[in-house]
Amino acid sequence: MPYSNYPNPFNPEITIRFDVPMLNGELKNIKLIIYNSLGQLVNTLYEGQISGGKYEMKWNGTNSAGMNQLSGVYFLNFQSEQFVQT
């Protein structure tokens, strides 16, 4: 489950914090995806398995091709096997 991210609007980097529930030590499949205000995919920050716990990562404001994006408001979509939140 993601927290509020800061700073938003970002410039030039944003910190993303989220929790993954611990259930019997199982790994969870998650995706963290950044979209712009037009709903276009900007970057997939993480896609794979992760263990339960608290996490923090930074997005440096680049798209999937490594190009810098304009400062502004972006949306983080957090997906797991049983949970989706933007």
Domain ranges of the chain: 14-85
Rounded to whole angstroms, the Cα distance separating 43 from 27 reads 23
Stated pTM of the model: 0.80
Q: Per-residue confidence at 77, pLDDT binned at 50, 70, 90?
A: very high
Contact of 31 with 77, CB cutoff 8 Å: yes
Q: Which CATH class is domain 14-85?
A: mainly beta
Task: Report the amino acid identity of residue 42.
Answer: V
Rounded to whole angstroms, the Cα distance separating 79 from 85 reads 7
Predicted pLDDT of residue 67: 95
Predicted pLDDT of residue 14: 85
Predicted pLDDT of residue 15: 85
